[in-house]
Amino acid sequence: MSITTLLVGFLAIGAASFSIKRAETFPPVPSSINRLALACPTDNTIKTWDNSTFSCASTTNLAAGDVTGIIAYSVKDCADACATASRFLDGGCDAFTLDADLARSYSINNGANCWLKRQSDIDGETRDYNGVSGKLIDGRA
Ligand SMILES: *[C@@H]1O[C@H](CO)[C@@H](O)[C@H](O)[C@H]1NC(C)=O
């Protein structure tokens, strides 16, 4: 095998791995999305990556009980983040409220639109055109 053959081989491998690693999706920055099209599934439940089940309520804002806030582009993103937070945060997460007005929420609500919450600290709920909320109903202690 000649040096040239080896070099061509390495270049081919390099090109192949480069094309595999290239990103296929570039999510828009939060400030460029005015409104997310959020919807609860028809059975009004969300199954998260850890097989927990959350209720899903449209036009609902859960008051208080915030653990932290993140950016989420879908109801499932927000519910999944709550499940993940439960593995890392003292006191866990068993509820969330997501704000559909992403750019606005990002600029005025501490850089977030998905609020991870604890049911024990929630202080009622309000009707809110922007809100979609969920509560853990099955899966974890
Ligand atoms: C979720 O359920 C599926 C199907 O029963 C199982 O294969 C998977 O391991 C479960 N995942 C977790 C994180 O428990």
What's residue 117's pLDDT?
98
Shortest-distance atom of ligand 1 to CA 51: 1
CA–centroid distance, 49 to ligand 1, in Å, is 8
- Residues with CB under 6 Å of ligand 1 are 50-51
Q: What is the pLDDT of residues 14-64, one digit of tens each?
A: 455 555 677 788 889 999 999 999 999 999 999 999 999 999 999 999 999
Which residues are bridge partners to 93 per DSSP? none
Q: What is the pLDDT of residues 88-105, one digit of tens each?
A: 998 899 999 999 999 999
Which residues are bridge partners to 95 per DSSP? 117, 135
Q: What are the backbone dihedrals phi and psi of residue 65, each rounded to the nearest 5 degrees, phi first?
A: 75, 10
First to last CA, the chain: 62
CA–centroid distance, 140 to ligand 1, in Å, is 13
Burial of 36 from C-beta contacts in 10 A (0-12 / 13-18 / 19+): buried
Can you list the domains of the chain with their CATH numbers? 30-138 (3.50.4.10)
